[in-house]
Amino acid sequence: MASIVEVLAVIGVLLLIPNVYRFVSFIWLYFLRPSSIRSYLHGPAPYAIVTGATDGIGKAVAAELYDKAFNLILHGRNDEKMRKVINELRARGTHDTDIRYFLVDAAQPGHDFAQMMEPYKDLNITLVIHNVGGSYGLQPERIDERSEEHILSVVHWNAIFPLFLTRALLPRLRVSAKHGPVLVQFIGSIAGDISPPRLPIYAASKKFLEGLTRGLDNDERYFGTPTGVRFTYIAVGAVVSNSLRADVNLGRPTSETFAKTLVARSGCGKRRVAPYVVHAIMQWAMEAMGEEVVDRYSAEEMANLIAAEEKKA
């Protein structure tokens, strides 16, 4: 009969295996695995759609994809800013790249999404990055101090717009998937996991996207014949941009730095991924600290960020 020590040793090894696997997967994903982004350059004239492409992460991702020779369909809400972005992209090199765009205010209701996508119905769209979204900056008001219009606009901006745009695109994406992989990525937020103070609607909207990602991915993979369309939720920590005016540090990269990691991890096979390695480490640390510690820390950090934002205003 095995001794108690031997039994405990076996239990210890069994408990250790998941952590060893997680560590090995971490090293592979962030330091060894080659990028899969070029696997989406298939078929006739492959296009990538990037929403919210006139600022921050979206603009930087568009530049990365342009450099990888994707044709682009960009979304924004300001024509002048969009034309400036396109001119900046053209100045990056001599790619014979087709760049198209559409202008829509994602924070507003009442859009005809089928009509919105009509000009692109025959294009070979292989990659969609739903970057559009935000929280109107860091604001000190509680939910009951904000208008109904404000709350609805945050929900439309972060959740409803990407949902219905995806719905309109899916028939076209399934056609593109007949000759290669197709990937739809929703830009989420670690805020969806920790729901920091003053951002409950934003956090809930991002958590909605994570559930949507899993459900849509299961629909396309397991219910009936697999279509070849995959979905990924991108967990994002703090990234310095127009919407977060803060000092750049190891935990807060620039939009350009973050975009490089996002493109590099695209197609890694995970349904949820934090592309930026420091954000992934921070996420693991928060899981280890426990909910109460994380809540207290996030409240303190939000207070500091709001104070810094008010000073710069």
Residue pair 104/25 in contact (Cβ under 8 Å)? The answer is no
pLDDT of residue 13: 66
Cα–Cα distance measured from residue 1 to residue 227, given in angstroms and rounded to the nearest whole number:
53
Q: Are the CB atoms for 248 and 255 separated by under 8 Å?
A: no
Sequence spans of domains, the chain: 26-312
Which residues of the chain are under the pLDDT cut of 50? 1
pLDDT digits (tens, 9 = 90+) for 35-88: 999 999 999 999 999 999 999 999 999 999 999 999 999 999 999 999 999 999
Strand, coil or helix: 248:
coil
Q: Give the single-character DSSP code of 267.
A: T
Tell the CATH topology of 26-312.
Rossmann fold (3.40.50)
The whole-angstrom distance between residue 300's C-alpha and the CA centroid of its chain comes to: 25
Query: Can you give the pLDDT at residue 157?
Result: 97
pLDDT at 10: 64
Q: Which two tokens stand for residue 131?
A: 């970057």
Composition of the chain by helix, strand, coil, percent to 5: 55, 15, 30
Q: Say whether pTM exceeds 0.75.
A: yes
Task: State the pLDDT at residue 284.
Answer: 87
Distances from the Cα of 125 to the Cα of 111, 219, 263, angstroms: 21, 19, 16
**Residue owning tokens 């127009």:** 242
Distances, alpha carbon 166 to alpha carbons 171, 212, 243, 293, in Å: 9, 11, 24, 37
Neighbours of 269 (CB within 10 A): 11
